[in-house]
Amino acid sequence: MTSRPGSGVATVRAELVASRVVGAYQHLTLLAPEVADLARPGQFVALAVGGPTSATLLRRCFSIHRVTPDAREGGSGSGTVELVVADAGPGSRWLTQVPVQGEVDLIGPLGKPFPLPTEAVGCVLVGGGYGSAPLFWLAELLRERGCGVEIVLGAASRDRLFGAPQTSDDERASHGVTVTTDDGSQGVKGWVSDVLPEVMARADAQVVYACGPMAMLRSVSELAAAHGAVAQVAVEEAMACGVGVCMTCVMPVRSSDGTTKMVRSCVEGPTFRGDRVRWDAFVDGHAVVPADAVGAPVAAGGGGH
């Protein structure tokens, strides 16, 4: 597989150079210099699962946790891409079991990165579960621009937190990180939305970045709006292709002209401004087509595939 020069995306057979368990997740490091050089926080990769003759055809998408770009001029071939993978089903389990030195077929970087503020403003980064994976890399870039950064990490339980301080030493070093768990096994017992207003006030937040489950993204968007901050959220819609050709990954998003369209989250997202997403159209995590969306079915049905 190849892709065209200048296309901004690479297709590679990447060697797995490290794979380790982190809490409930598997942290994978893949040798993929072409992807590492192009990627920005908020983007993702699409991985083939099950080997070349697999009956599992659809790729699996994962946020890029961080990259280590190629060090030398012209590329030494040492750039890596890191992912944090939860065992959610057969495809992701296969990935967590790839042996070190094994190869994984990877396309990336895909999607739009998180937009960065042009001025040094206060930022709050909110991650739910493995959703925190891309946030630390984002935090580094924001700090380089002089932004103040606070991080809120939430999960159901301690083992499902990613990137949270593990020891009391860690905790002293990780100034600016607030942790919540549903069961109280680490940090504040409760949801990220319980602590977010206080953290936004403390950080004087003008931008709130979030990545995690849909319900969390919705509440973060609402709280950010109430605080007068812009929310930038990274969504996770089921994707069959990841590259913009199948139309499976759509969600209702309001554009700047006020019209709602069913847009592809793989190419127009996965990062969206929280106030543009039509959260009212989501029922149990799935989007129905809002009646006022462009081209919405006028009668029941709407047929065809």
Partner 1 sequence: MVSMTVDLAGARLPNPLMTASGCAANGRELHRFFDVADLGAFVTKSVMLGARSGRGTPRMAETPSGMLNSIGLQGPGIDAFVDDDLAWLASVGARSLVSIAGSDSEEFAEVARRLRDSSSFGSVAGVEVNISCPNVANRGLVFACDPGSSSAVVSLVRSQLPAEVPIFAKLSPDVTDLVTIASACLEAGADGLTMVNTLLGMSIDIDTMRPHLGGVTGGLSGPAIRPVAVRAIWQVRSAMLTGRLPVAPIIGVGGVRTGHDALELVAAGASAVQVGTSTFNDPTAPVRVLRELEQLLEDKGIVAFTDVVGAAHPS
Is 89 or 302 the residue whose CB approaches ligand FAD more closely? 89
**Cβ-contact 279, 269 below 8 angstroms:** no
Q: Total number of residues binding ligand FMN (CB under 6 A)?
A: 2
| CA–CA distance, 234 with 252 (Å, rounded to integer) | 14
**Cβ-contact 227, 201 below 8 angstroms:** yes
Please report, as residue ranges, which positions from 94 to 133 form the binding site for partner 1 (by CB under 8 A).
107
Tokens of 80: 């890596």
Residue 217 neighbours by CB distance under 10 Å = 25
**Least CB distance from residue 244 to ligand FES, whole Å?**
5
Among 28, 121, 220, 241, binds ligand FES (CB under 6 A): 241
Which residue stretch of 71-79, 200-208, 219-227, 247-255 sits at the interface with ligand FES (rule: CB under 6 A)? 247-255
**Cβ-contact 13, 103 below 8 angstroms:** yes
In the chain, what is the greatest distance between 2 CA atoms, to the nearest angstrom? 61
Is 254 or 264 the residue whose CB approaches ligand FAD more closely? 264
Residue 58 contacts ligand FMN per CB under 6 A: no
According to DSSP, the residues that pair with 19 across neighbouring strands are 28
Q: Total number of residues binding ligand FAD (CB under 6 A)?
A: 21
Q: Which does 303 bind (CB under 5 to 8 A by kind): ligand FES, partner 1, ligand FAD, none?
A: partner 1
**Least CB distance from residue 205 to partner 1, whole Å?**
31
Residue 55 contacts partner 1 per CB under 8 A: yes
Is 200 or 241 the residue whose CB approaches partner 1 more closely? 241
**Cβ-contact 125, 134 below 8 angstroms:** no
Residue 262 neighbours by CB distance under 10 Å = 20
Please report, as residue ranges, which positions from 38 to 57 form the binding site for ligand FAD (by CB under 6 A).
44
Binding characters for ligand FAD, 61-80, by CB under 6 A (x = yes): xxx-----------------
Q: Which does 304 bind (CB under 5 to 8 A by kind): partner 1, ligand FAD, ligand FES, none?
A: partner 1
**Cβ-contact 86, 74 below 8 angstroms:** no
**How far out from the chain centre does Cα 182 lie?**
21
Q: Which does 31 bind (CB under 5 to 8 A by kind): ligand FMN, partner 1, ligand FES, none?
A: none
Map tokens 């089921």 to a residue.
238
Residue 4 contacts ligand FMN per CB under 6 A: no
Tokens of 189: 């017992």
**Cβ-contact 147, 120 below 8 angstroms:** yes
Which residues are at the interface with ligand FMN (CB under 6 A)?
A: 246, 305
